[in-house]
Structure 1
Amino acid sequence: MRNVVAAGAMLVALTAAAEAQPFRLIVTHLEPPLVPNSVMDLAVELGYFEREGVDVELVRVQQTPSAIAAIRAGEGEMANVGLDALLQLVARGTTDLKAVTSPNKSLPFLIAAKDAIATPEDLAGASFGIGRPGSLDHSLSSSVLRAAGTDLDAVEFLTLGQPDVRGQALAAGRVDATTMSIGVWEAMPDKTGLHVLVDQAAYYAAAPVVNKINIVPQAVLDERRNEVLAVARALIRISRDFAADPSQWVEAIAPFQPAIEPATLDSIAASFAGSWSVNGGMNADELTFSQEWLYETEDFKDLPAVELSQWADLTVVEAALEELGIDPAADTP
Structure 2
Amino acid sequence: MKAKFVGTILRRARGGGRISLLALGLCFWFGNSARAAEPPLVRIAHGAFNEKVEALWTGVEQGFFRKHGVSVEVINIRSGPQTMAALASGDIHMAYTIPGSVLSAAAGGMDIAFFTGVVNRGDGDFVVAPAIRRGEDLKGKRVGVQSIGGGVWSMTMLALEYLGLEPTRDKILMMVVGDQAVLTQAMTTGNIDAAYVGYTFSTLLKEKGFRVLLDLGKAPIPYQGLSLATQRSYLKQNPQIVDSVVRAVVESIAFIQNPSHKEATIKSLMKNLRLKNVQEAESGYQALQWLYSLDIKPNLKGIQNMHRLLAMTNPKMKGVRSEDVIDEGPVQRVEKTAFYQDLVARAKR
CA distance in 1 between partners of 2:311 and 2:297 (Å): 23
Residue 208 to residue 35, structure 1, CA distance change in 2 (3 Å): farther
2:173 equivalent among 141, 149, 156: 156
2:46 equivalent among 27, 30, 55: 27
Q: Would you say the 8 A contact 2:125–2:196 is kept in 1?
A: yes
- Greater alpha carbon shift after TM alignment, 102-111 vs 115-124: 102-111
CA distance in 1 between partners of 2:283 and 2:344 (Å): 24
CA distance in 1 between partners of 2:165 and 2:258 (Å): 38
SS of alignment partner, residue 101 of structure 1: coil
**Is it true that 1:52 corresponds to 2:68 in the alignment?**
yes
**Is it true that 1:228 corresponds to 2:239 in the alignment?**
no
SS of alignment partner, residue 84 of structure 2: helix
TM-score normalised per structure 1: 0.80
CA distance in 2 between partners of 1:136 and 1:256 (Å): 19
Q: Following TM superposition, by how much is the alpha carbon of 1:213 offset from its aligned partner in structure 2, in angstroms?
A: 2.6
Q: Following TM superposition, by how much is the alpha carbon of 1:48 offset from its aligned partner in structure 2, in angstroms?
A: 0.8
**Is it true that 1:185 corresponds to 2:202 in the alignment?**
yes
Give runs of aligned pairs for residues 38-49 of structure 1, distance below 5 A: 38-49=54-65
CA distance in 2 between partners of 1:63 and 1:105 (Å): 21
**Is it true that 1:109 corresponds to 2:124 in the alignment?**
yes
- Gaps (5+ residues) in structure 2? 1-31
In the TM superposition, structure 1's runs of 4+ consecutive aligned residues that sit over 6 Å from their partners are none
Q: Would you say the 8 A contact 2:42–2:93 is kept in 1?
A: yes
Residue 156 to residue 329, structure 1, CA distance change in 2 (3 Å): farther
Residue 137 to residue 328, structure 1, CA distance change in 2 (3 Å): farther
SS of alignment partner, residue 53 of structure 1: coil
SS of alignment partner, residue 228 of structure 2: strand
2:183 equivalent among 166, 173, 177: 166
Residue 314 to residue 261, structure 1, CA distance change in 2 (3 Å): same
The count of residues paired between Structure 1 and Structure 2 equals: 308
1:303 equivalent among 301, 306, 317: 317
Aligned to 1:99: 114
Give the aligned residue type for 2:202. W
Q: Would you say the 8 A contact 2:80–2:150 is kept in 1?
A: no
Aligned to 2:11: none
Aligned to 1:4: none
SS of alignment partner, residue 289 of structure 2: coil
CA distance in 2 between partners of 1:25 and 1:311 (Å): 18
Q: Following TM superposition, by how much is the alpha carbon of 1:209 offset from its aligned partner in structure 2, in angstroms?
A: 1.5
1:92-145, Cα deviation, whole Å (9 max, x unpaired) = 3222x2221133345632111111101222212322222344544334323322
- Gaps (5+ residues) in structure 1? 1-12
Q: Following TM superposition, by how much is the alpha carbon of 1:210 offset from its aligned partner in structure 2, in angstroms?
A: 0.9
Residue 26 to residue 125, structure 1, CA distance change in 2 (3 Å): closer
Aligned to 2:16: none
- Greater alpha carbon shift after TM alignment, 36-45 vs 261-270: 261-270
Q: Would you say the 8 A contact 2:44–2:93 is kept in 1?
A: yes
CA RMSD of aligned residues (A): 3.1
1:70 equivalent among 71, 86, 89: 86
Q: Would you say the 8 A contact 2:113–2:231 is kept in 1?
A: yes
TM-score normalised per structure 2: 0.77
1:274-317, Cα deviation, whole Å (9 max, x unpaired) = 21142224234444x3354345432x334333234532210101
Greater Rg over alpha carbons, structure: 2
Give runs of aligned pairs for residues 138-287 of structure 1, distance below 5 A: 138-150=153-165, 152=167, 153-154=169-170, 155-187=172-204, 191-203=207-219, 205=220, 207-245=221-259, 247=262, 248-257=264-273, 259-287=275-303
CA distance in 1 between partners of 2:243 and 2:60 (Å): 16
SS of alignment partner, residue 109 of structure 2: coil
- Greater alpha carbon shift after TM alignment, 55-64 vs 82-91: 55-64
Give the aligned residue type for 2:56. M
**Is it true that 1:125 corresponds to 2:140 in the alignment?**
yes
Bigger proportion of residues as helix: 2
Give the aligned residue type for 1:158. M
Residue 187 to residue 310, structure 1, CA distance change in 2 (3 Å): same
Residue 132 to residue 274, structure 1, CA distance change in 2 (3 Å): same
SS of alignment partner, residue 208 of structure 1: coil
Q: Following TM superposition, by how much is the alpha carbon of 1:214 offset from its aligned partner in structure 2, in angstroms?
A: 1.5
CA distance in 2 between partners of 1:270 and 1:327 (Å): 20
SS of alignment partner, residue 265 of structure 2: helix
SS of alignment partner, residue 317 of structure 2: coil
Residue 327 to residue 90, structure 1, CA distance change in 2 (3 Å): same
Q: Would you say the 8 A contact 1:101–1:281 is kept in 2?
A: yes
1:238-297, Cα deviation, whole Å (9 max, x unpaired) = 11221232714214333445643212322221133321142224234444x335434543
- Greater alpha carbon shift after TM alignment, 178-187 vs 152-161: 152-161
Q: Would you say the 8 A contact 1:114–1:195 is kept in 2?
A: yes
